[in-house]
Amino acid sequence: MTDAYTRFVRSGPGRFIASRAGLPRPAPLPRRGDRPEPVLGPVVVLGESEGADAVAHLLLSWGADVRRRFEELRTVGSVVAVLDEVSTPSDLGRILLPLAGAMRSLAPGARVVTISRPARGEDPARDAARGGVEGFLRSLAHEMRGGATANGVLVADGVGLDAPGVTGALRFLLSARSAFVAGQFLTVSREAGSATGDAAAPLAGRTALVTGAARGIGAAIARTLAADGARLVVLDVPAAGTELSRLANELRAVPIQLDVTSDGAGDRLISFLRERSLVLDAVVLNAGITRDKLFANMTPQKWDPVLAVNIASQITLTEALIEAGDVLGDQPRVVSLASTSGIAGNRGQTNYAASKAGVIAFVEALAARLEPVGGTANAVAPGFIETEMTARMPAVSREVARRLNSLQQGGLPVDVAEAISFLSSAEAGGLRGETLRVCGQNLVGR
């Protein structure tokens, strides 16, 4: 699904006009259906540490064509720069500068991933080097072309580079599943989690609940989780019952019609799950609404429903699931839908931004509560995604919003769904209270 402008500038005459006028020329973004292999090769591993050697062996085990230098490579598919042992800023250039000479050799849809440690506020020189990786990576992501992206994995001190969370984050960021993720870092803060038994079906044997599942991003989430092997419980309001039933029939899912803001919604969900002997391994809290108004014109009728659906219902449902004690599996994963509006704010969305900023803080607190049972909570913050809602935006505003990111185009619902599937997997146990932006490195926020 491409917009009219993008189709035009990819045509012969449009490509010429855009080139002469200096207009944005969005490149195609290969997604899972276009590139199913886990790594686009050849992949060059940069770094001098034992961790770099371990990463190279890991990639070899995935069947990748692994090299340690760029020499004699006319095209490079992926680059992994392992900087886990940098101790001074001068270490960065030695490891990273070989990539500078290979930038023009990166294939369309290439991936660059850094693996480093977060600054700890203890050693000034070491922390400066570690912090420098972030500035480098975010700037590099703005320079990528041809649908290529750059992202990073931050690995807490004491966590090995072979931890499930590191492996899972690297697998996700190198794959075509991260097509609309750019300039972002995933922090692996602990060793928790377990390896995915089947990379082609990472959610096999897991049961997942998706709220707001009947249409749009929710339906894309449900389809992606099902494609990854999950058994699904799909939930939406009674008014969306027809669409929900169709989706449930398509995916052989279990449907439940429920208003998540109604009194006793949590208790009814628990009863529903118990009656069917369902135990949830993943909970995707996607239900959400907008009621946009400038704050000068904001009313309780516009404010209250947004806060009720977008954040209060998430608190209510997760409290009920945790308190029930018998409807959550071992090491549960909770994934909530935030938004870049909750990070950077947005004109006319004080209510929506408040609710989504609340989601970001909520998952941090919830992750701490789930940690004793091996569970975790994280969020996904979409940017501009091509949906029915964004299609109703004024034409000029919509066109500007599409171009305000490093990839110069809107994302697709499946891009959000792919990130949620990763965070719902067994591998993601080491990611705690993270908010992953799926926004093409939108120029607002961080």
Q: Give catalytic residue positions.
A: 352
User: What DSSP assignment string belongs to 292-314?
Assistant: -B-GGG--HHHHHHHHIIIIIHH
HSE, side-chain direction, 13 A CA sphere, residue 418: 26
HSE, side-chain direction, 13 A CA sphere, residue 302: 16
Separation between Cα atoms, residue 172 and residue 182, nearest integer Å: 12
Residue among 55, 30, 24, 6 nearest 110 (CA): 30
Residue among 151, 213, 194, 152 nearest 440 (CA): 151
Separation between Cα atoms, residue 152 and residue 81, nearest integer Å: 9
Separation between Cα atoms, residue 376 and residue 363, nearest integer Å: 8
**Biggest alpha carbon–alpha carbon distance for the chain:** 66
- Token pair for residue 424? 């719902």
Separation between Cα atoms, residue 218 and residue 393, nearest integer Å: 20
CB-based contacts of 85, cutoff 8 Å, min separation 6 = 48, 49, 51
Q: 36: cis peptide before it, omega within 30°?
A: no
Residue among 434, 264, 236 nearest 335 (CA): 434
